[in-house]
Structure 1
């Protein structure tokens, strides 16, 4: 219960964003490959930031 009000760390926020981008890129890959590739590139940039932390 006390964890309910605990704020997320920067790393956790980036990991959540990364996961959302990967799932969105997977959905887009079935219809629009160019947009999916662009989203994957952005996700990889976030992955690099996570590695630095």
Structure 2
């Protein structure tokens, strides 16, 4: 009911960031390929952080 008081876990924050970066990269791919590639590289770094966090949890 009052989910806006609930804090997000670090994994949820990273997933949100990852999705946003991929969305931005997709939008930029139609305008500026170099910036799109940079966003994909950032998203890849975030994904690696997600994998590290998941491996620690398991």
Moved over 2 A (4+): none
1:39 and 2:10 aligned = no
User: 1:4: how far off?
Assistant: 3.2
Give unmatched runs, 5+ long, in structure 2: 54-58
**Equivalent residues, number:** 53
Q: Which runs of 5+ in 1 are unaligned?
A: none
TM-score normalized by the length of structure 2: 0.86
- TM-score for both structures, normalised by structure 1: 0.93
Alignment of 1:1-53 (within 5 A): 1-53=1-53
Q: CA deviation at 1:5?
A: 1.3
Displacement of 1:8: 0.1
